[in-house]
Amino acid sequence: MIVVHGISLPPGEFGGPEIEALFTNQLDWDAHPYYDEIRGLEVSAHLLIRRDGSVLQFVPFTQRAWHAGESCFRGQHRCNDFSIGIELEGEDETPYDDRQYPVLQGVITALCVAYPDISPREVAGHCDVAPGRKSDPGPAFDWFRLYDGFNPTD
């Protein structure tokens, strides 16, 4: 499956190096007061799609990334064991950038081709696999826009 996330560091701020620093265990925990809340957190994702549409890969698709945490999808627990995590630079209440949607569509299409067991029916938000614990990508993410004209068999 594919898990779609939203992340900004510090919260609500975009464009800096902090997300990459977090995913590579190099975040300066003292650089912002918010970081005390997440101090020592060790997380990763397979991909980050920046607001400008650029893509960074942190973990090979064939390896486990630590993005979903305690999670469950269709009765299967520990989603990190069988999922690909895609982070979108954004936050729950701020509309995602127009440039991110076609890139995300392209990435999902490529993953569905490379891994035929994945289909759009196996794409979920972090909020769906960890309800009550996580809210991302949040109400600002337009799921209909993601799927509008989306055909992963092309």
Residue for token pair 């055909």: 151
d(CA 100, CA 42): 25
Query: Which residue in 53, 52, 51, 49 sits closest to 4, CA to CA?
Result: 49
Which residues are the active-site residues?
A: 87
pLDDT band at 151 (very low <50, low <70, confident <90, very high): low
Task: Give the pLDDT score at 61.
Answer: 97
Residue-wise pLDDT for 98-112, tens only, equals: 999 999 999 999 999
**Across the chain, what does the average pLDDT equal?**
95
Query: Which residue in 69, 12, 15, 5 sits closest to 43, CA to CA?
Result: 69
pTM of the model: 0.95
Residue-wise pLDDT for 35-84, tens only, equals: 999 999 999 999 999 999 999 999 999 999 999 999 999 999 999 999 99
> What is the pLDDT averaged over residues 19-40?
96
Domains in the chain (CATH in brackets) are: 2-9+44-147 (3.40.80.10)
Cis bond leading into 33, ω under 30°?
no
% of the chain beyond a pLDDT of 70: 96
> What is the pLDDT averaged over residues 117-140?
95
d(CA 145, CA 88): 15
Residue-wise pLDDT for 69-82, tens only, equals: 999 999 999 999 99
Query: Given phi > 0 = left and psi -120 to 50 = alpha, else beta, which region is 146?
Result: alpha
